Amino acid sequence: MRERSVRPHRRTFRLLGSLLLVTAVGASLTGAAPAREPSSPASGPVPLDRVIPAPASVQPGGSPYRITRGTQIRVDGSRETRTVGEYLADVLRPSTGYRLPVTDHGRGGIRLRLGKGPFGEEGYRLHSGRSGVTITAARPAGLFHGVQTLRQLLPAAVEKDTVQPGPWLVAGGTIEDTPRYGWRGAMLDVSRHFFSVGEVKRYIDQLALYKVNKLHLHLSDDQGWRIAIDSWPRLATYGGSTEVGGGPGGYYTKADYKEIVRYAASRHLEVVPEIDMPGHTNAALASYAGLNCDGVAPPLYTGTEVGFSSLCVGKEITYDFVEDVVRELAALTPGRYLHIGGDEAHSTPHEDYVKFMDRVQPIVAEYGKTVIGWHQLTGATPAKGALAQYWGLDGTSAAEKEQVAAAARNGTGLILSPADRAYLDMKYDKDTPLGLSWAGYVEVQRSYDWDPGAYLPGAPASAIRGVEAPLWTETLENSGHLEFMAFPRLPGIAELGWSPAATHDWADYRQRLASQAPRWEALGIGYYRSPQVLWPAEGGADAG
Ligand code: NGO
C-alpha cells in the first residue's frame, strides 16, 4: 500500500499558531549575520547548498533540471529502489499534477539507482543537469535520504496537496553526502500524554524530512503504560487508562505497534522501544499489587512529579515481570536496541539500582537486544556493547560528567541529548506557552550551536554514536503542540547528527532554516517563529 507523506492537519495547529506566531514582530536579532531575504527567488531554483542537514559536499554548476508533465521516475530492477521511487512520486504528484510514472524503462528524468561508491549505509550522490536528476546510493536508505534532499531543492509549494503552478526546477550540480553519525534520533514520550498511531506517523514523516533515523518511543512511565503485554494484560488496560491531567490515556495493541514499526521502516527509521525502570514505574505498580514491596498497589498517577516510584528489587516476581515484558517487546522489535531507562531512580537505594541493572541487562541480551540506558546506567555496570544516553546540562556536576566520560573511555557508546540543548520540551523563552524550563530556556541558536564531537570533557570522540532530540510530553497533548516545540529546533539537532563539523555555522544555518518555513507551512506544520531567525513572510509557499 502506498503511503502519503506529511500532509496538513491544519485544524490541529491553527489555534495555537495564531496564538504563537506573533513573536517575530519587533524581534531583535541576536545572530551575527546580516539580514538577507531567505526565501528562494521566484525566478531561479533553490541553491544547491540551501539544504538541512547541510550536505557533506556541494558542487553547484551546469543547467538546472526541469520536472515536466513528461518526467518519469526511473528505478533499477530492485523492489527496494521501486519503493523509494513510489514514495517520491507520492510526494511530487499532488502538487505538480503530473503522472510521474515509476518505471525501469526510458531515458532522462529522475533516476534512482543502487551502485558502488563511497556512500556507506546512508550516503548518496545527487547529480542534476539539463537531462535529469540522478540519485545514486549503495543502499535504499541512501536513496531515501537523497530523495529528501531533492524535495528541499524544489520550491516549497511542492509540499502542498493541491496542484500548484511550478515551474519545478532543480539547480544544476552535484551533492555528495554521508552522515557524520549513525545515530540521529528523536524520542517521543507517549506516556505522559498518549499519542495515536496517526499522530506518531505524522511525526515520523516530519523526522524523515531531516534524515533522522531512530525513533525512540518512551512507552512507560508513572502516568501510563502504553504497550500491550499479553502476559501482564492489566499493564495496558489499567496502567494505560489515564495520562497527565487525568485524560483517557490509551495504549498500542500489538497490531498498532507493528504498524508504527512498519511505517517507520518505510521511512528508514528504526524504532527503539523504552520501558523505563526501576523508577518511573507507577503505572506498572498500580496495575499489579504483587510488584510492590508491600504488596499494595498505589493509585494511578496523573501529576508531573518524578522520582517517587520503584520496582521492588528484592522480589523475584520483579524479574519474571521484566523478562516477560522484554521477551514480548523484543519480539515486536526488528531493531537491535532496547532502552531500559534507568533515570531518576530516586526511590531505589544505590546498591539496589546496581543489583537491578546487573540482573536486567543480561535479560535484554538473552532476547537478542542491545541495552540502552539513560546515563545514570554508568553509575552501575553497563553491559558490554551498551549505549548510554547523556541528558545532563552545563550545570551537571563535574563528577557526574566524569562518570559518563569514564564509561565512554571504557567502551560504552554515548548518545548525546543534553537537556539544555537537545530537549525539545524546554521552553524557548519565558513566554513560551508550552513546555518545561528546568534545564533553562533553549532558543534556536543554543539548541544548534554545539559540537557533539567535543561536547563531553574526557569522552573520546570515537565513543559518540550520535545525537537524539527528546520530546517529553508533560505539557504536550496533540500534534500541534509537538510541532510547535520541535520546529524549528529539531532540524538543528538533525543537522548536528548528519553534517560534518566543518559545515557548522550559525549565521549560515539560520538562513537555511528560514527557508524551511514555507515548506512547513505547505505541510501544515505550525512552528515557533523565533526572533533569532529572519523568517520570510508567512504564506511564502504560495509564490511557488
Ligand atoms: C527528564 C526526566 C523525564 C522528564 C524530562 C522532562 C529524563 C531522562 N528523565 O529527562 O522524566 O519527563 O526530564 O524534561
**What's the CA-to-centroid distance between 308 and ligand 1, angstroms?**
13
**What's the CA-to-centroid distance between 216 and ligand 1, angstroms?**
14
Amino acid 108: pLDDT = 87
Q: Which atom of ligand 1 is nearest to the CA of 389?
A: 8
- Is 117 a domain residue? yes
- Is 47 a domain residue? yes
**What's the CA-to-centroid distance between 472 and ligand 1, angstroms?**
7
Name which residue sits closest to atom 7 of ligand 1, judged by CA.
343
The reply to whether ligand 1 has any atom less than 6 angstroms from the CB of 306 is yes
The reply to whether ligand 1 has any atom less than 6 angstroms from the CB of 425 is yes
**Grid cell for residue 542:** 504560495
The reply to whether ligand 1 has any atom less than 6 angstroms from the CB of 13 is no
The answer to whether the pTM exceeds 0.85 is yes
Determine the longest span between alpha carbons in the chain, in angstroms: 74
**Grid cell for residue 488:** 524549528
- Is the N-terminal amide bond of 8 cis, ω within 30° of 0? no
Amino acid 39: pLDDT = 44
Tell me which of 465, 481, 500 is where a domain ends.
500
Angle between helices 489-498 and 506-514 in degrees, nearest 10: 130
The reply to whether ligand 1 has any atom less than 6 angstroms from the CB of 199 is no
The Cα–Cα gap between 154 and 86 comes to 18
Residue 382 three-state SS: coil
Amino acid 43: pLDDT = 60
Name which residue sits closest to atom 6 of ligand 1, judged by CA.
472
Cβ neighbours of 315 (radius 10 Å): 15
**Grid cell for residue 315:** 522480589
Amino acid 540: pLDDT = 59
In angstroms, how far is CA 386 from the centroid of its own chain? 21
Q: Give yes or no: residues 172 and 190 share one domain.
A: no
- Is 507 a domain residue? no
- Is 327 a domain residue? yes
Q: Give yes or no: residues 168 and 218 share one domain.
A: no
pLDDT mean values, one per 10 residues, the chain (544 residues): 39 36 31 39 82 98 97 95 98 98 93 96 98 98 98 98 97 98 98 98 98 99 98 98 98 98 98 98 98 98 96 98 98 98 96 98 98 98 98 98 98 98 98 98 98 97 98 98 98 98 98 98 98 89 46
Q: Give yes or no: residues 173 and 193 share one domain.
A: no
Q: Which domain holds residue 197?
A: 180-500
Q: Give yes or no: residues 207 and 311 share one domain.
A: yes
The reply to whether ligand 1 has any atom less than 6 angstroms from the CB of 436 is yes
Q: Give yes or no: residues 296 and 433 share one domain.
A: yes
Ligand 1 test: best mutation among 221, 306, 377, most atoms within 8 Å of CB? 306
Q: Which atom of ligand 1 is nearest to the CA of 280?
A: 11
Tell me which of 146, 177, 208 is where a domain ends.
177
Q: Give yes or no: residues 241 and 373 share one domain.
A: yes
| DSSP bridge partners of 224 | 221
The Cα–Cα gap between 387 and 112 comes to 35
Instruction: Please give the positions annotated as active site.
Output: 344
**Grid cell for residue 183:** 545515530
Q: Which atom of ligand 1 is nearest to the CA of 374?
A: 8
Q: Which atom of ligand 1 is nearest to the CA of 438?
A: 14
**Phi, psi (5° rounding) for residue 373?**
-140, 160
Q: Give yes or no: residues 324 and 415 share one domain.
A: yes
Domains in the chain, number:
2
Q: Give yes or no: residues 152 and 204 share one domain.
A: no
**Grid cell for residue 40:** 528562494
Tell me which of 125, 143, 177 is where a domain ends.
177
**What's the CA-to-centroid distance between 6 and ligand 1, angstroms?**
28
Q: Give yes or no: residues 240 and 212 share one domain.
A: yes
Residues listed for the chain? 544
The Cα–Cα gap between 357 and 313 comes to 10
Q: Give yes or no: residues 150 and 202 share one domain.
A: no
- Is 3 a domain residue? no
The Cα–Cα gap between 419 and 424 comes to 8
- Is 16 a domain residue? no
The reply to whether ligand 1 has any atom less than 6 angstroms from the CB of 393 is no
DSSP letter at 122?
T
Amino acid 533: pLDDT = 98
- Is 20 a domain residue? no
- Is 152 a domain residue? yes
Instruction: Check which CATH number belongs to the domain holding 46 and give it.
Output: 3.30.379.10
**What's the CA-to-centroid distance between 439 and ligand 1, angstroms?**
10
Instruction: Check which CATH number belongs to the domain holding 387 and give it.
Output: 3.20.20.80
The reply to whether ligand 1 has any atom less than 6 angstroms from the CB of 343 is yes
**Phi, psi (5° rounding) for residue 447?**
-65, -35
Name which residue sits closest to atom 12 of ligand 1, judged by CA.
472
Q: Give yes or no: residues 106 and 205 share one domain.
A: no
Q: Which is it for strands 337-339 and 220-221: parallel, antiparallel or unpaired? A: unpaired
**Grid cell for residue 94:** 499532488
Amino acid 23: pLDDT = 34
Q: Which is it for strands 124-129 and 224-225: parallel, antiparallel or unpaired? A: unpaired
Q: Which atom of ligand 1 is nearest to the CA of 426?
A: 14
Q: Give yes or no: residues 131 and 231 share one domain.
A: no
